Amino acid sequence: MKDKFYITTPIYYTNAKPHIGHAYTTIACDVLARWNRLQKKETFFLTGTDEHGAKIQKKAIEEGKDPQEFVDGFAEIFKDLWKQLNISNDGFIRTTSASHKEAVQKVLQTLHDNGSIYKGSYKGLYCVGCEQFKSENELVDGKCPDHGTEPEEMEEECYLMKMNKWQDTLVEKIKSDEFKIQPERYKKEILSFLENQKLEDVSISRKNLAWGIPLPFDTDHTTYVWIDAFLNYLTGIGWDGDVKKVPEFWPAEVEMIGKDILRVHATIWAATLLNLGLELPKSFVVHGHIQSGGKKMSKSLGNVIDPYAMLEKFGADGTRYLLMSGGTFGDDLDITMERMTEKYNADLANGLGNLVSRVIKLSEKMTNEINFNNFVSGDQTFFDTFKFDIILESILEDVKNANKKIEDNKPWELVKNDLIKFNDIMQELMVDVYSISERLIPFLPETAEKIKKSLETKQAEPLFVRIK
Ligand code: MSP
């Protein structure tokens, strides 16, 4: 397979409705997937849901629901949101699907057979919100800093997976960018962890948790939810768990993750692949967290900006635009509905919407044929470094320049006294709008489509209207 591009989101827990952080990652992946399809790469874009584990079982019980019924409901809600946001995923993997469960069991059997898994016990502080053991030094005032809750003391017989022998391999692969972690500061962060802390073997099973995939060699245990979840990146492209038959799309070009789940990916996921003798993903692309009004948002803390409220107010393309232009990728972003409303009005309603409707209206009076040059985008290097905000800023600069061209040249006067100049200016403006629409395709697919249609038919379709 030539020039393939396989990109994944993390799979989202089905213990609550999607929040804006989920929408942010999924939109960023969608932008990259659409861009790569435009570059004629054979693209596969995977997302899905992480449906096992203590956190989900607990929530289902609290709501008096059968866990399967409980997760079925949320999986549909995620799918529906992605549809509403125009997400072009090629696959949607659910960890409770029969094919995923079978593959996970096959993998665990392989790890057991090749000596990577052994029986033991583990004692530690477990944060159900993170579904991870926490060391004392990761806690703040005895609480998990991400969830604000005290982890539970847990001691259990379990199976452990060998980690330590991969420590140097991981450092080497990350240092050389064979296993690339971007942006750079996250590479530094994980290297400093791997160079200073010994990787402990990790518990990969739970004895007293029913809601999980039973270990094939000891059905008193269920599979640790992170191991179950990581394998989605392979089962989601049709892998059945046979290490000799890995799908062509593997290794993934980009696994996009939030900064809070970098360490678990760079250690447990990477070690699982190495223990299986499989290739690591080519890269992890790490984003920061979205905050609102200076405060952290999280599902467990319950202070979230609702993606549905954004959709209702700004529409799919408005939401995509506001999230992708909300700050530097990799850094934490701070968003508020007020600031986003202002930006929507300034950039989309007044800027882009106004430009398109003026140009299309004026173009009715053109007497020459329009000739769209073959458009070549110069955005590749910015996509390579995930500078979504910079690309959008530069597109908006084009919008402003074109609007200025209209004001400076007053085509509504030219049409009366200098038809040749009018036609020339309009030709330029039509090409400007055309190239703006081309650059917008990965970000605002619906709008780009509408603009192109308007250019063809010379009928302006309404794009963005000012909102309060
Ligand atoms: N199920 C695991 C991932 C397994 S991947 C093999 C999980 N799920 S999650 O639903 O809790 O979070 C999914 C993603 O959302 C993570 O990448 C996380 O960083 C991201 N976000 C959670 N809160 C966020 C913000 N406030 N802002 C941006 N992203 C956020 O972790």
Specify the ligand 1 atom closest to the Cα of 288.
28
Task: Note the pLDDT of residue 243.
Answer: 98
The residue type found at 123 is K
What is the number of other CB atoms lying within 10 angstroms of the CB of residue 256? 24
Domain boundaries, given as residue ranges, for the chain? 4-288, 336-457
Of all protein residues, the one whose alpha carbon is nearest to atom 16 of ligand 1 is: 258
Specify the ligand 1 atom closest to the Cα of 13.
10
Query: Max Cα separation, the chain?
Result: 89
Q: Could you tell me what percent of the chain has a pLDDT over 90? A: 87
Q: Beta strand pairing status for 333-334 and 290-292?
A: parallel
Task: Note the pLDDT of residue 351.
Answer: 97
Cα 49 to middle of ligand 1, angstroms: 11
Give 244-258 pLDDT, tens digit per residue: 999 999 999 999 999
Q: What is the average pLDDT across 444-467?
A: 93
Distance in angstroms (rounded) separating the CA atoms of residues 290 and 377: 29
Q: What is the third-level CATH fold of 4-288?
A: Rossmann fold (3.40.50)
- Cis, bond preceding 445 (omega within 30 deg of 0): no
Active-site residue, 19 included: yes
Distance in angstroms (rounded) separating the CA atoms of residues 233 and 50: 11
Of all protein residues, the one whose alpha carbon is nearest to atom 12 of ligand 1 is: 12
Give 329-374 pLDDT, tens digit per residue: 999 999 988 999 999 999 999 999 999 999 999 999 988 888 787 7
Of all protein residues, the one whose alpha carbon is nearest to atom 23 of ligand 1 is: 21
Distance in angstroms (rounded) separating the CA atoms of residues 202 and 223: 12
Task: Note the pLDDT of residue 300.
Answer: 60
Task: Note the pLDDT of residue 369.
Answer: 82
Tokens 């968003």 — which residue?
335
Task: Note the pLDDT of residue 147.
Answer: 84
CATH top-level class of 336-457: mainly alpha
Give 225-280 pLDDT, tens digit per residue: 999 999 999 999 999 999 999 999 999 999 999 999 999 999 999 999 999 999 99
What is the number of other CB atoms lying within 10 angstroms of the CB of residue 324? 21
Active-site residue, 287 included: no
Q: List, chain by chain if needed, residues with CB within 6 Å of any ligand 1 atom.
A: 10-13, 21-22, 24-25, 50, 229-230, 232, 257-258, 260-261, 289-290, 297-298
Which position among 144, 187, 221, 450 bears the catalytic label?
A: 144
Ligand 1, residues 260, 300, 303: which to mutate, most atoms within 8 A of Cβ? Answer: 260
CA angle, 459 then 460 then 465, to 5°: 160
Task: Note the pLDDT of residue 178.
Answer: 98
Which position among 100, 101, 130, 187 bears the catalytic label?
A: 130
Task: Note the pLDDT of residue 1.
Answer: 58
Is the pLDDT at 461 greater than 90, yes or no? no
Active-site residue, 144 included: yes
**What's the pTM value of the predicted model, to 2 decimals?**
0.96
Distances (CA, A) of 360 to 254, 338, 429, 451: 39, 31, 9, 9
Ligand 1, residues 95, 231, 261: which to mutate, most atoms within 8 A of Cβ? Answer: 261
Give 73-99 pLDDT, tens digit per residue: 999 999 999 999 999 999 999 999 999
SS3 at position 118 = strand
Q: How confident is the model at residue 301 (pLDDT cuts 50, 70, 90)?
A: low
